Amino acid sequence: MQPPGREDRLAEVPFHRMDDLIGGLIQTLLPWMQELPFAFFGHSLGAIVALEASRALARHPLPQPVHVIVSARAAPHLPLRREPVAGLSRGGLERWLRRMNGTPDAVLQSREMMDMILPSLRADLDMDDKYRPRAAPPLRCPLTVLGGLGDDEATPEELQAWSTYTTGKFTFRLIEGGHFFAFNHAQSAALAAVADALTGVGKIGM
């Protein structure tokens, strides 16, 4: 799945609304959901996408994920620790990205590359800034939450608060690293945690 505004769809307008993104995601993935058991994994804003996609499926007679795995995101009902950043000037946004330490210096130092990624980045941040969870039944599948021990964006208590979002098994694991632990030196530990979560999953709907 490739959302608009990214990679080979750079010329397209990216989504600014969560409902639009979820609708496109489900429409695109539904053929594969019909054939095989599946799980959702989401990091940071992606954690919210994973939750809302699962909720959207539950509102219809559609296949359900056998597991949802989220990382580096406080429980949805809790306020973001950061101030809204989507409306920052270019310079302000670049300084914020440097503080977050998740964008390679080569990208930050390249005006051409920043020109390409900023529209979709602002759209994601706008979506994140404006997101407000709606009341919904808890998930029925297991929920695994991963967090970085040094993540200033989501404390262990804020991650643990995800426990109310499922009636299934809840697992919480902390991994060495900051907000982007799943994509740097702790990637192998994060992948191992995902593999552990998915070991022995059963049929769709269990």
Which domains are seen in the chain, by residue range? Answer: 7-198 (3.40.50.1820)
- Looking up tokens 């750079």 gives 10
| Mean pLDDT, range 128-149, rounded to an integer | 95
Q: Label residue 155 by pLDDT band (50, 70, 90).
A: very high
Looking at this protein, which amino acid is placed at residue 204?
I
- What distance in Å separates the CA atoms of residue 193 and residue 63, rounded to the nearest whole number? 24
What are the residues facing 71 on neighbouring strands? Answer: 43, 146
What pLDDT is recorded for position 101? 83
What is the C-alpha to C-alpha distance for residues 41 and 153, in angstroms, rounded to an integer? 18
The H-or-E segment that residue 48 falls in is helix 45-58
pLDDT tens for 92-137 read: 999 999 988 888 899 999 999 999 989 999 999 999 999 999 999 9
Is 89 considered catalytic here?
no
Mean pLDDT (the chain, rounded): 91
Of 44, 54, 71, 120, which is the active-site residue? 44
Kindly report the pTM of this predicted structure.
Answer: 0.91
Whether the pLDDT of residue 185 is over 80: the answer is: no
Percent of the chain with pLDDT over 90: 77
> Does residue 205 register a pLDDT over 70?
no
The span from the CA of 19 to the CA of 56, in Å, is 9
Residue 201 is predicted with a pLDDT of 66
Q: Cβ of 65: how many Cβ atoms within 10 Å?
A: 25
Mean pLDDT of 49-73: 96
Predicted confidence (pLDDT) at residue 206 exceeds the cutoff of 50: no
Instruction: Judge contact between 9 and 2, C-beta under 8 A.
Output: yes
pLDDT, one tens digit per residue, over 7-57 is 888 889 999 999 999 999 999 999 999 888 999 999 999 999 999 999 999
| Residue keyed to tokens 């994509």 | 183
